[in-house]
Amino acid sequence: MPDDIQTFPGRFRGPAKFYTGGRPDYPPRLLARVATLVGGLERGRVLDLGTGPGFLALGFAPHAAEVIGIDPEPAMLAEAERNAAAAGRRIVWRAGTAETLDPALAPVRLVTIGRAFHWMDRSATLARLDLVVEAGGAVALFDTLQPNLIANAWHAAFNAVVERYGAADPARGHLAAASDHDAVLLASAFRHIERISVLEQRHTPVERLVDRAYSFAKTWGGQLDTPPQGLAEDVRAALRPYAVDGHVSEILEGHATLAWRPDELG
């Protein structure tokens, strides 16, 4: 059944400039493991949908012959271009959406979607990907979280601030409904599912977590260009009991859900 998709034009225009500094990138060992499992990337194309500032596109660039990043938000693509230039990577960036993919992008060995599948018409996207993913290729959904460990005790206080500022988010209803990605995958051509997780210990500056809070569009309360007043001060206050020399310990779990067509597996 197609998702009841609501669009929120310009939602990420303001938060885009906080993504690179605030959002955690994915553990490199996770991406290397996915590249090994999928195989053939050294001769193949990676397509990163909802690329944002290009975390996954840049992360897979060392593993793939070609990487294409697609995003509907011009401000995000501008961030991605800056990040690629800083990293010395040649990546093709395109404006567009998952639901309107050009079939001429085929053949694609791996499609990556990082923290963005919930914004797509998931069933329509997977049907479209069935047209461009080559035989034996895969779709991989990526996310990050902070597992319930003592080192991450600060996260509850941080998240409480983010949720308080996000109470007026006009997309709350959509986000609540766009869950259960597994069910959507199991109803698609890509219904063989495997998971990988990698835990990585980090020493995260409080100011990076301030940027992380700003990077969540929900904290902007539907205001496209006006940063939420008081958010930075509230994040700093919430983290003060946990910070040492302006940093907190963070154990990040990066995880990937890989999906293949079952009849193409060896």
pLDDT in tens, 121-160: 999 999 999 999 999 999 999 999 999 999 999 999 999 9
To 5 degrees, how large is the angle CA 105–CA 108–CA 109? 170
The pLDDT of 69-94, averaged and rounded, is 97
Q: How far apart are CA 163 and CA 161, in angstroms?
A: 5
pLDDT band at 265 (very low <50, low <70, confident <90, very high): confident
- What is the tally of helices (H) and strands (E) in the chain? 10, 7
Query: What is the pLDDT, as a whole number, of residue 1?
Result: 45
- pLDDT confidence tier of residue 178, bands split at 50, 70 and 90: confident
pLDDT in tens, 180-222: 999 999 999 999 999 999 999 999 999 999 999 999 999 998 7
d(CA 147, CA 177): 23
Nearest-angstrom CA–CA distance, 62 and 60: 6
Domains of the chain (ranges, CATH numbers):
16-146+173-199+249-261 (3.40.50.150)
What's the pLDDT score for residue 9? 76
Q: Phi first, then psi: give them for residue 242, nearest 5 degrees.
A: -105, -15
Determine the Cα–Cα distance for residues 225 and 220; give it in Å rounded to an integer. 8
β-pairing, 192-205 vs 45-49, is unpaired
Q: For the chain, give the number of residues.
A: 266
Q: Residue 3 has which token pair?
A: 């998702």
Look at 72-86, 137-151, 174-188, 250-264 and tell me which has the smallest mean pLDDT. 174-188
**Sign of the CA dihedral with 16 first, then 22, 23, and 25 last:** positive
| Distance, first Cα to last Cα, the chain | 30
Residue keyed to tokens 């007043």: 229
Q: What is the mean pLDDT of residues 86-99?
A: 95
pLDDT at 57 over 70: yes
Express each pLDDT in 1-27 by its tens digit: 455 455 677 889 999 999 999 999 999
pLDDT band of 99, cuts 50, 70, 90: confident
Q: Are 76 and 19 within 8 A, CB to CB? A: yes
Reported as half-sphere exposure (CB side, CA atoms, 13 A), residue 6 has a value of 11
Cis upstream peptide for 107 (omega within 30°): yes
Asked if the model's pLDDT at residue 112 lies above 80, the reply is yes
Strands 133-145 and 247-260: antiparallel
Instruction: Enumerate the H helices of the chain as residue ranges.
Output: 16-22, 28-38, 55-60, 74-87, 122-132, 154-165, 172-177, 181-186, 206-215, 231-239
Give me the chain's average pLDDT, please.
Answer: 94
Instruction: State the pLDDT at residue 242.
Output: 98
pLDDT average, residue stretch 225-236: 94
Q: Say whether pLDDT at 177 is over 80.
A: no
